Amino acid sequence: MMLANTNTFLKRSKSKSKLFHKATPSQIASSHANDDSVADSQPAAPPRQSLSRRASIVMRNATNDFHLDDEDFPTTSSDETTGGEVVAAYPDLNSSELRTVGDPARLGFSVEENEKIVQVLCDFESGFSLMLDRIKQNMASCKEVAMFLKKRAGVEEEYGRSMMKLSQNILQSKSDDGKRGTYAEAWKHTMCLHEHVGEIRLKFASRIADIAEEVSTLHKNTERSRKQLKESGYKHWRVVHESENALEKAKSKYESCSEDWERAILNREQVIEGGSTMMMPQNSKGGLAKSISNLHLWKTATSSTNPAKVQKLEDDARTRAALANESYKQQLAVTNNLRTQYFQTHLPRLIRQLVETNEECDHTLKTHLVTYANELEQSITQEALTVRPMEPVKIDLLQAVEKINNSTDFEQYMVSCFANANQQLQKSEYQYSPYSMSPEALNLAHPKPVFGVDLTVVTEREAAPVPVVVVKCIQAVERYGLRTQGLYRVSAAHHNVQRLRSLLDKDVEKVNLDEWNEEINVVASALKLYFRELPDSLFPKSMYHAFIDAARHDAENTRLMHIHELVNQLSDAHYNTLGALVGHLFNVQQLEGENRMGIQNLAIVWAPTLMDSPGEVDPMELRLQSKVVETVLANYTRIFDVESF
């Protein structure tokens, strides 16, 4: 995420960097006088007004992503653990056993030993990967145990259910057709014992199924913890790696600009002393590529004997060298700070959490296996005690069979009883069944208008950066009308525009503007009507005077810089919609030879629609409105991130 945010920041701030003024000679001398304190200096924070709006947001998000505190690795409470919630999984354990399970000191190593292990792993090149591989082995073991216990639970459950079903079926069949008396009692006792054995197996199956689920949960929690720690570790390392790459680039640029300045200084002195041609200085570090890149500058410098021109070239080279030097120092401080944070804070913390996760998984898995062994032993013991109980008052299976008296049973054969079964009465209430309305009727009953609705409301309702009506109209005009002469200047028939507006207000998603390809001016007029009826114009009323004041500057670069700053202050809905519309008008003016709509014509046509004065409009401001739209349109690629639109 941070890499993507950084790329976006560079794109949006690249255009503004072209507007900065050159450094003065005094600033250059001060900058080079501080070269020896590069490693100790901190990068100066750029002025807030020199950053674009999106750059500020990206830098804030990148900072939040980099400084991982308690939110990245939530601490576990006394009732749960990161390995698999051991305490919650064993409600039957007593307090001493719970303390043993939850005490980190009892998970394998003491606190001092853990710290020594963390220190060794931090000093080891592959310490982070080693712990990840160890936890991966633990996860494989958990998966294997969970699979065995799950299948064993299935086998036991199938056996128990089959035993209970068989016993119950036999008992039910004997109640109708079998012998009565002592035989029936002995046989019933036998079937009840078998049914009880089935119940024991079902309970055992349920317990080991719970253990399997807990081991599976342990596997999932360990896998999730490992994934989070792995991603966090790699993210921190990527930040350091990217900063080191940026440092190399800044250093190369600084050396290149310093070489250019050196050549300019030597050439100036040569011209002042004798005016003869100077040989191009060689530098073993630059190589062929750097020499070729500076060949044009060297030829320009050495081909002129005009002292003023040579002095100007030297001043320009000194300015570039000063800027590169300052950038290099700032990047060096940032890189050293990141490396210090990584090796002294983030890496030990991540490895410590990996060690704790590994030890927790080791101990929890062992605890589950001990529990399984106890459950198996108890199940076998209970089954044996069911067949041959230890209490004298209970009858075992052999004694029950030996008590069968066939003579008595024959005497009781003549008596039988039958029971009548009553059908159960249905007392459940009827459920309410609501009427399902058709989509067409639902749209008519609950319309979603777009004309005259605030941009922010429409974009939030549609969950889109730009309203659908704007996107559809722009796509239709670019598909069928870019070569139409007088596009956006020639108005369409009013009743046709109102008819299209009514369709868009009912359900903009279902309107097919391809059907209006023969009346493309109607689509263009509807688009202008949409912006004209906005409650707050695309250039907000609250910023109207600020845009007008920015347009008063005669210097093009100054005017562009102020308007660019104001555009970046727009809300997301206004900013994204303005970018989409200006990008469309930029495509229109590229075909000026056919549609007769250049930048000035488009600015004159669109300015009153896009800018609405909060008060009474001064006639002199109409020209300034057009100047604002013209500046934004002419500098579309410098103000907006073209790839985003």
Tens digits of per-residue pLDDT, 325-363?
Answer: 999 999 999 999 998 888 888 888 888 888 889 989 999
Cα gap 257→273, rounded to integer Å: 24
Running DSSP on this structure, what letter comes out for residue 555? S
Cα gap 22→38, rounded to integer Å: 22
Task: State the chain's maximal CA–CA distance in angstroms.
Answer: 146
Q: Is the pLDDT of residue 205 over 50?
A: yes
E strand segments, 343-438:
none
Number of residues assigned to the chain: 645
Q: Is the pLDDT of residue 640 over 70?
A: yes
What is the helix (H) or strand (E) element at residue 447, kind and residue range? none
Q: What value does the CA radius of gyration of the chain take, rounded to a whole number of Å?
A: 41
Record the pTM: 0.41
Running DSSP on this structure, what letter comes out for residue 346? I
State the pLDDT at residue 344: 87
Cα gap 272→151, rounded to integer Å: 93
Q: Is the dihedral of CA 15, 18, 19, 20 positive or negative?
A: positive
More confident of the two residues 39 and 292 = 292
Mean pLDDT (the chain) is 76
More confident of the two residues 33 and 156 = 156
Give the residue among 572, 551, 570 at the shortest CA–CA distance from 562. 551
Helices 468-480 and 520-532 cross at an angle (nearest 10°) of 150
Tens digits of per-residue pLDDT, 584-620?
Answer: 999 999 999 999 999 999 999 999 999 988 888 788 8
More confident of the two residues 73 and 425 = 425
Residue entry with tokens 């101990």: 363
State the pLDDT at residue 352: 86
How far CA 289 is from CA of 284, 286, 293, in Å, comes to 12, 7, 6
State the pLDDT at residue 183: 72
Phi, psi of 41 (to 5 degrees): -80, 150
State the pLDDT at residue 185: 77
Split at pLDDT 50, 70, 90, the class of 467 is very high
Cα gap 296→375, rounded to integer Å: 85
Tens digits of per-residue pLDDT, 363-420?
Answer: 999 999 999 999 999 999 888 888 888 777 677 777 777 777 677 766 665 544 433 4
Q: How many CB atoms lie within 10 A of CB 186?
A: 20
| pLDDT more than 70, % of the chain | 70
Q: How many CB atoms lie within 10 A of CB 318?
A: 24
State the pLDDT at residue 409: 65
Cα gap 183→168, rounded to integer Å: 17
Q: How many CB atoms lie within 10 A of CB 218?
A: 28
Give the residue among 274, 272, 264, 273 at the shortest CA–CA distance from 302. 264
Cα gap 439→435, rounded to integer Å: 13
Which are the contacts of 89, defined by CB distance < 8 A and separation ≥ 6?
210, 214, 217, 368
425-454 mean pLDDT: 69
State the pLDDT at residue 441: 63
Q: Which amino acid is at 375?
A: E
Q: Is the pLDDT of residue 453 over 80?
A: yes
Taking the CA atoms of residue 545, residue 549, residue 552 and residue 555 in that order, the dihedral angle to the nearest 10 degrees is -140
Tens digits of per-residue pLDDT, 541-585?
Answer: 999 999 999 999 999 999 999 999 999 999 999 999 999 999 999
Q: How many CB atoms lie within 10 A of CB 2?
A: 17
| Burial track 92-115 (b if 16+ CB lie within 10 A, e otherwise) | ebeeeebeebbeeeebeeeeeebe
Q: Is the pLDDT of residue 622 over 80?
A: yes
Q: Are 477 and 513 in contact (CB under 8 A)?
A: no
Which are the contacts of 103, defined by CB distance < 8 A and separation ≥ 6?
none
Q: Is the pLDDT of residue 295 over 50?
A: no
Q: Are 630 and 600 in contact (CB under 8 A)?
A: yes
Cα gap 562→579, rounded to integer Å: 17
Which are the contacts of 316, defined by CB distance < 8 A and separation ≥ 6?
22, 264
